[in-house]
Chains A and B, each alone.
Chain A
Amino acid sequence: MIPGPFDYQVASSVAEAIALLDQHGADAKVLAGGHSLIPLLRFRLASPAVLVDINRLRDLEYLQEADGTLHIGALTREVDLEASDLIRRRYPILADTARVIADPVVRNWATIGGNLAHADPANDHPATMLALGAQLVATGPAGQRLIPVEQFFTDSSFETTLQPNELLTEIRIPAPAERSGGAYLKLERKVGDYAIAGVAAYVALDGAGQVTYAGIGLTNVGPTPIKARAAEQLLLGSTLDDAVIVQAAKQAAAEARPVSDLRGPADYKRAMVETLTMRALRQARSRATGGA
């Protein structure tokens, strides 16, 4: 499995990366961690004319909270999300997600930006970002624009609303409200696999214990990452009791659009969305109310 020929250019700044993308347009592919792209090249399923390597852009590797927002540089490696005290303490759903992506060696090099921008419905971060209501920063020749994550993915697999000359540079996540919490659960055939199904759930409660925010994202049960909007609606205003969790889980399953494949039949995957949603919501509730 040998890649076909291509040119390679290394970007030494975000501006340079964008200039290169602007120059090459759709013939160019951004090379970040490369764990999706390089296997595609090796199987000759992708044949870009030029790779723009952004791995030297150390200023895109950061995790910081400022102004009520968590800012994650797009080139942040999964291992840094997994290991960060800040993430483990304040955003455990992100640590949940990072630690089930591929395997630990892959996570040393794979990036959060790549996981999102590849727009693979089987990737794990999209569901979590949908649950969290993240915003993505796209930087292009004209500067930056903010894309709400639900507008980042299109109706097609492997497609985003990024322009060919734009680079995903940052992910912004609202800092957690006082009584909020979330969890990401992934069912996989074995370690290193894509999800049979994955569910991210995030909730915020008010002082009376009523749900003021609910986010549910689904992994690999449809052509794109799925935001289970109707399930979220069921939760809003509820006290997140077991009955509503059961109901929301059923609703999330109804919103999944799985197909039968090597990861199991569609009805199984749909049922797993229900199981995982229930478990994720219970864990989210526990975390929101001070548990682990």
Chain B
Amino acid sequence: MSIHHIRVTINGKLYEGDVEARTLLVHWLRDGLRLTGTHIGCDTSSCGACTILVDGKAVKSCTMLAVQADGRELLTVEGLEQNGKLHPLQEGFHVEHALQCGYCTPGMMMAALALLKRNPDPSEQEIREGISGNLCRCTGYVNIVKAIQYAAQKLREPEQVPAGSGGGGE
């Protein structure tokens, strides 16, 4: 079984290490690098809890080998917040109550991020299609759709979304 030395840029930072060929990317991120925000929910690339961006595209990191990430740029949930400022998606998920247990949330936000990069002004149906590779068992998706709409609007017109109506967390 071959061992490979890989160098991967994750959230703007270079990581390197030796991995077995069979090591799944999600296991390297979680167990190897302790980036545990990316979750695991199935074995069949069905649930999307492990979704991250690879070279700007949303990918299920349980269905990619760590060695395949060599030389690529990854973004995980830990890289969404920049300089202490939440990404509009993170803000939207909080304001619109788009998470409950929080387990699908990182993957859901990463899939949404990829969607908004491709389509900055998606319809509700386009949002639903865009997150249809990500399962949520708690929210029924209604508020996830709203959160993505919130983020889409904020990313298009940063000044026009009112701040969240108070409350905890932020």
Contact = CB atoms under 8 A, between A and B. Distances in A.
A contacting B, Cβ–Cβ less than 8 Å: yes
Interface size band for B: 20 to 34
A8 B67 contact: yes
Contacts of B67: 8, 10, 53
A39 B133 contact: no
A83 interface: yes
Nearest to B4: A8
B1 interface: yes
B144 interface: no
Interface string A4-34: 1111111000000000000000000001001
B43 A83 contact: no
A208 B43 CA distance: 54
Interface in A201-233: none
Interface string B58-78: 111011110110100000000
A192 B114 CA distance: 18
A103 B44 CA distance: 12
A166 B21 CA distance: 23
A6 B111 contact: no
A5 B1 contact: yes
B105 interface: no
B21 A6 contact: yes
Interface string B110-145: 010011001000000000011011100000000000
A108 to B, nearest CB: 4
A3 B22 contact: yes
B22 A102 contact: no
B22 A6 contact: yes
B21 A8 contact: yes
Interface stretch (B9-17, B45-53, B94-102, B148-156): B45-53
A191 B60 CA distance: 16
Contacts of A53: 65, 67-68
Q: DSSP majority for the B interface?
A: mixed
A106 B134 CA distance: 10
A106 B57 contact: no
Contact of B59 (A8, A105, A192): A105
B2 interface: yes
A188 to B, nearest CB: 11
B20 interface: yes
Given A5-B20, A105-B133, A108-B114, A35 B59 contact: no
A34 B24 CA distance: 12
B22 A192 contact: no
Nearest to B118: A83
A106 B115 CA distance: 13
Contact of A42 (B43, B60, B70): B43
A55 interface: yes
Contacts of B59: 105, 108-109
A51 interface: yes
A259 to B, nearest CB: 22
Interface of B: 1-2, 4, 20-22, 24, 43-46, 48, 51, 54, 57-60, 62-65, 67-68, 70, 111, 114-115, 118, 129-130, 132-134
5 contacts: A2-B24, A39-B44, A102-B45, A108-B57, A108-B114
